[in-house]
């Protein structure tokens, strides 16, 4: 037989799994930098610590590593990083917080079970100085979620304030003879024939907070280990993001924190900045004695102050190094309209030099909400956090990471003048994120969908007409070294940002909503018309950024072009564009995605016969809408925890307000407090993908987290089962221990492996052998 004319045997699905899983593991092992800190060590150099996360698939957890370096500044524009030969794993550590001077390091281990204590270790440069074990009778786990999370040293490094779960409330206790009167505070002893009852339901903040107790404020004396709960804070307030206020001799020492009211029903907090909140100041406990309590009781009206009564949202309080200003972010646009995320604003309070606080302190607007920006101009502030120490040496300029259209950029903001400048390079196919500051210089991370992250060092130069005020240097590091296979795959790809014009804009539409939206397009440098995956973010008021994603890079390397659509309603394009979507979901966003697909077909870079679509949450809502509204357009689909039936979701989700705002518009943000009417349920159904199910033809993969309380699994299961009964090819994978984001390492791995295998099956893509 002529061997050259033999037809190769088609790869089986098992062959695909084996080959693609090897390739995916190559990408999965690439680590992420989480945080960085700098410390003064010598007159000519500084020491650096970089916190690194790396998935451990076998253990199904994320390893936390620490890599140190020595930083030598050779000239004003030249810097050299000398890295330690190996990172060190810090097993089980929940939080790492250096002291302001850098002379101490706090490590926090949260309890492993309901009985073990919380551990606080204080380290000096040479050894562990203190090791405190805090029983759960005082508090539970310290919050490390980047939202309620707050751990703050005071300036003289004698106390640490932090946010932790309040202790469990007492529960009824029973014995053989019945109820044990007065036994609620005593641990039940099973050997004595007693047991604890369940007690009243304690509401939580929904997705990822299920079962977690109210976040409360505590202070620990790092010399004695004495822990005190901060008094005067009503239990209706959930506390977070605490910082110490500047201290003046002869005045009270205050803590400033964010408080969210949970007096009525608690609704989901994760991914939702539209929950009303305020900045409060409270007197810090002095750990001395009864005299302080007597003074407090005599001046109770001054014990806790709401500093931001005139605004509906205040987040991430940051004091300037000289103590003159308190700057904070506001999500008032989200709170006031009801959308779960929107354009932010930035504000300032001048802190009293005498330490005497007043509820009537004047608030200044630094950066207002931008409704619509001209091409190339600042589109508004979109932040998920503000760095703990964002200040340049002038005490008035902050460096902030913010979304600008489809990329994340670095901004400098003068908190006195309101002047804002885009200081990272202007290439929109790259995204930048602040790691830490080195005086007036910046250490940042830069990446693109086809470039692994790179550490950058930014040096400020004097402004002039001929020069750019910031210059950026590449810093060689061992952290992002990847395999030859990954490097070769990424080198063969290119990335661009497409401007998609609005089709048939309605009369009366806001100016910002008539501007083009964007899509990130990733494709091969050498081939055209590869099979296309349309990727849709959730939210809908979120955004897909032009940064490195291991999952996206894997799908590109398999042989797909990616069309990552930031439809109108996404963050980063101004408030008018964002607010154009509520009340029009399933229509405006669907049409925007179809316009983006038509654009790449018109450009000749996508094959109309090999288009697939995938998305998570609202992206799954769009995915299942698209395969119903445009049934002949898609070869296959994948939906991750999708919203398929709003009429079902509204009664089971932790964010019923979201259902009303997105389906009916922002005027309906309070309607969730009542049971939905028959008319509401009908409209919910008609706005949902399930109303188009009878037209669906595309084989669809469903990936569902069993512990998802945002879009409970019944929503996706109902749609998947109905589709299967209709005769459409359906596959469903359930992740029993995962939540809405499918964030556990094994879940994410299996999710994207199955997406690749599923799409290959229906696009008939020949997979290279990666074993």
DSSP sequence for 142-155: BP-SSSS--EEE-T
341 close to 335: Cβ distance less than 8 angstroms = no
| Sheet hosting strand 325-330, strand order edge to edge | 315-319, 325-330, 345-350, 363-367
CA separation for the pair 21, 757 (Å, rounded):
10
- What is the model's pLDDT at position 172? 84
CA separation for the pair 150, 135 (Å, rounded):
20
First to last CA, the chain: 28
SS3 412: strand
Three-state SS annotation for 239-284: EEEEEECCCCCCCCCEEEEEEEECCCCCCCCCCCCCCCEEEEEEEC
Last residue of one domain, picked from the residues 229, 251, 269: 229
Integer Rg of the chain from CA: 27
Tokens of 177: 């003879």
Q: What is the CATH number of the domain that holds 631?
A: 3.40.50.1820
- What is the model's pLDDT at position 769? 65
Nearest to 230 by CA among 141, 317, 292: 292
**Residue 145 included in any domain:** yes
Nearest to 453 by CA among 433, 426, 428: 433
CA separation for the pair 70, 46 (Å, rounded):
6
DSSP structure class, residue 476 = -
**Residue 400 included in any domain:** no
Q: How far is CA 471 from the centre of its chain?
A: 29
The secondary structure of 64-90 as a DSSP string is EEEEEEEEEEEETTEEEEEE-SS-EE-
563 close to 555: Cβ distance less than 8 angstroms = no
- What is the model's pLDDT at position 39? 93
The secondary structure of 12-25 as a DSSP string is PHHHHHHHHHHHHH
Per the structure, the count of domains in the chain is 2
Q: Which residues contact 113 (CB under 8 A, 6 or more apart)?
A: none
CA separation for the pair 564, 521 (Å, rounded):
6
**Is residue 540 reached through a cis peptide bond, with omega within 30 degrees of 0 on the bond before it?**
yes
**Residue 208 included in any domain:** no
Burial class (CB in 10 A: 0-12, 13-18, 19+), 351: buried
| Sheet hosting strand 128-134, strand order edge to edge | 95-98, 105-109, 118-123, 128-134
236 close to 303: Cβ distance less than 8 angstroms = no
- What is the model's pLDDT at position 51? 95
Label the pairing between strands 118-123 and 128-134: antiparallel
- What is the model's pLDDT at position 192? 62
- The parent domain of residue 104 ranges over 95-168+215-229
Q: For 722, how many CA atoms within 13 A lie in the half-sphere containing its CB?
A: 17
- What is the model's pLDDT at position 169? 81
Last residue of one domain, picked from the residues 180, 205, 229: 229
**Residue 56 included in any domain:** no
Report the catalytic residues: 617, 708, 740
Dihedral of alpha carbons 154, 159, 164, 166, sign: negative
**Residue 490 included in any domain:** yes
Dihedral of alpha carbons 228, 233, 235, 237, sign: negative
CA separation for the pair 624, 593 (Å, rounded):
13
**Residue 318 included in any domain:** no
Residue 641: how many CB atoms within 10 A of its CB?
A: 27
Q: For 546, how many CA atoms within 13 A lie in the half-sphere containing its CB?
A: 27
**Residue 120 included in any domain:** yes
Nearest to 645 by CA among 706, 678, 686, 604: 686
Backbone angles phi, psi at 319, to 5 degrees: -90, 140
Residue 482: how many CB atoms within 10 A of its CB?
A: 18
SS3 345: strand
Last residue of one domain, picked from the residues 229, 259, 282: 229
CA separation for the pair 725, 716 (Å, rounded):
14
**Residue 114 included in any domain:** yes
CA separation for the pair 539, 162 (Å, rounded):
30
**For the chain, which ranges sit under pLDDT 50?**
1-4, 6-8, 184-188, 287-302, 464, 466
């Amino acid at each position: 037989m002529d061997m050259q004319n033999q037809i190769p045997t088609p790869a089986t699905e098992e062959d695909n799994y084996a080959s693609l899983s090897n390739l995916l593991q190559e990408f999965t092992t690439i680590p992420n930098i989480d945080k960085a800190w700098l410390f003064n060590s010598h007159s000519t150099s500084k020491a650096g610590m970089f916190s690194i996360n790396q998935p451990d698939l076998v253990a199904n957890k994320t390893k936390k590593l620490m890599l140190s370096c020595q930083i030598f500044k050779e000239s004003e524009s030249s810097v050299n990083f000398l890295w330690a030969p190996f990172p060190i794993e810090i097993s089980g550590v929940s939080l790492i917080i250096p002291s302001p001077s850098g002379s101490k390091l706090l490590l926090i281990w949260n309890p492993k079970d309901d009985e073990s204590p919380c551990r606080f270790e204080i380290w000096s440069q040479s050894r562990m100085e203190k090791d405190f074990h805090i029983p759960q009778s005082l508090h539970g786990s310290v919050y490390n979620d980047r939202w309620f999370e707050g751990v703050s040293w005071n300036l003289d490094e004698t106390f640490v304030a932090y946010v932790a779960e309040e202790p469990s409330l007492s529960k009824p206790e029973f014995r053989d003879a019945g109820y044990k009167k007065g036994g609620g505070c005593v641990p039940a002893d099973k050997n004595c024939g007693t047991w604890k009852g369940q007690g009243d339901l304690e509401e939580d903040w929904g997705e990822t907070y299920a079962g977690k107790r109210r976040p409360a404020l505590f202070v620990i004396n790092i010399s004695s280990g004495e822990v005190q709960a901060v008094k005067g804070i009503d239990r209706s307030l959930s506390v977070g993001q605490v910082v110490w206020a500047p201290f003046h001799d002869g005045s009270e020492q205050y803590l400033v924190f964010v408080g969210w009211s949970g007096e009525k029903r608690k609704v989901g907090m994760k991914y939702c900045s539209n929950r009303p909140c305020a900045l409060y100041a409270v007197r810090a406990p002095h750990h001395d004695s009864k005299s302080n309590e007597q003074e407090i009781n005599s001046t109770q009206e001054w014990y806790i102050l709401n500093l931001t009564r005139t605004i509906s949202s205040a987040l991430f309080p940051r004091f300037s190094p000289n103590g003159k200003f308190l700057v904070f972010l506001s999500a008032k646009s989200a709170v006031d309209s009801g959308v779960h995320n929107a354009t932010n604003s930035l504000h300032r309070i001048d802190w009293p030099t005498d330490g005497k606080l007043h509820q009537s302190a004047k608030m200044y607007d630094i950066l207002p909400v931008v409704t619509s920006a001209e091409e190339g101009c600042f589109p508004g502030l979109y932040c998920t956090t503000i760095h703990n120490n964002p200040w340049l040496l002038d005490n008035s300029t902050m460096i902030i990471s913010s979304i600008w259209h489809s990329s994340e950029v670095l901004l400098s903001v003068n908190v006195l003048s309101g002047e804002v400048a885009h200081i990272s390079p202007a290439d929109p196919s790259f995204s930048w994120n602040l790691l830490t500051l080195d005086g007036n210089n910046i250490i940042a991370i830069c990446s693109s969908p086809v470039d692994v992250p790179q550490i950058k060092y930014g040096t400020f130069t004097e402004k002039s007409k001929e020069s750019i005020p910031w210059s950026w240097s590449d810093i060689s590091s061992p952290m992002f070294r990847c395999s030859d296979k990954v490097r070769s795959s990424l080198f063969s790809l290119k990335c661009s940002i497409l401007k998609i014009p609005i089709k048939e804009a309605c009369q009366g539409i806001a100016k910002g909503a008539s501007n083009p939206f964007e899509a990130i397009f990733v494709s091969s440098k050498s081939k055209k018309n590869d099979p296309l995956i349309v990727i849709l973010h959730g939210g809908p008021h979120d955004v897909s950024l032009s940064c490195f994603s291991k999952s996206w890079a894997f799908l590109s390397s398999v042989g797909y072009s990616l069309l990552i659509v930031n439809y109108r309603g996404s963050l980063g394009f101004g408030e008018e564009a964002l607010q154009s979507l509520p009340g029009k979901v399933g229509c405006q966003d669907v049409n925007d995605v179809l316009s983006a697909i038509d654009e790449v077909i018109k450009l000749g870079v996508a094959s109309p016969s090999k288009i697939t679509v995938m998305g998570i949450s609202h992206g799954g809502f769009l995915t299942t809408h698209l395969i119903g509204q445009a049934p002949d357009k898609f070869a296959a689909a994948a939906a991750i925890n999708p919203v398929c039936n709003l009429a079902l979701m509204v009664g089971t989700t932790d964010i019923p307000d979201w259902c009303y705002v997105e389906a009916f518009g922002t005027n309906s943000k309070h309607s969730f407090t009542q049971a939905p009417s028959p008319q509401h349920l009908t409209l919910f159904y008609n706005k949902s993908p399930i109303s188009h199910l009878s037209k669906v033809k595309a084989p669809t993969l469903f990936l569902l987290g069993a512990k998802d309380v945002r879009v409970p699994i019944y929503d996706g299961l109902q749609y998947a089962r109905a589709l299967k009964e209709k005769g459409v090819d359906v596959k469903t994978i359930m992740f029993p221990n995962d939540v809405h984001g499918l964030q556990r390492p094994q879940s994410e791995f299996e999710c994207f492996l199955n997406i690749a295998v599923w799409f290959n099956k229906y696009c008939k893509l020949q997979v290279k052998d990666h074993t």
